[in-house]
Amino acid sequence: MSPRIVPIPLSGDLRKAQAKGVRHADGLHDTYFEQSKLIRSAAEAKIREADRLECEAWNALMWAWMTGEMRPVVDDKQANPTIGKAINGGYDLLEAKCKRCRRLSLVSLRDIRRPARTPILMLEDALFCQPCSEGKHYTHRQRAFIVGLTYASPGAPSSGAASDGKRRR
């Protein structure tokens, strides 16, 4: 058992000085906490803006690939945003086009069952066209390719294309 520590009672002047120090520390805490909240909110806004710009840059690369000028680089992490970055940047939908019927479909990134750190271009292997694949076995589904990212309205359901059954955590 440890010995009991009894604090020595403070005299009048020391008690006043301690109370003043406690008030000062409380005021510093409030000031610094408010400053940290302001700085953190500004930083989060900058991160959202950076994610949006990264998605726009990736959309430009995908557009160049669609016109036949270049191929997208899968390994370059700076040119390939993740699902989490796209959602944070405001891009909620993925545009996919069927390789057979050329139908353009929108897939909600929030409904894709993959981790948020998954690069967008890695989703292409899991995309298929539902109208072209109805009644077919899993291996004979018609593939779709990614056209780009786009904005979404908050309650828009996904339509046309689907992904495989891996759940996002």
pTM: 0.67
**Residue 93, helix vs strand vs coil:** strand
What gap in Å lies between CA 156 and CA 84, rounded to an integer? Answer: 18
What gap in Å lies between CA 169 and CA 149, rounded to an integer? Answer: 21
Separation in Å, CA 47 to CA 75, 94, 101, 120? 23, 21, 38, 18
Q: What is the pLDDT of residues 100-111, one digit of tens each?
A: 888 888 888 898
Residue 40 clears pLDDT 90, i.e. is over it = yes
Taking the CA atoms of 79, 85, 91 and 95 in sequence, report the sign of the dihedral they define. positive
Give residue 72's pLDDT band: very low, low, confident or very high (50, 70, 90).
low
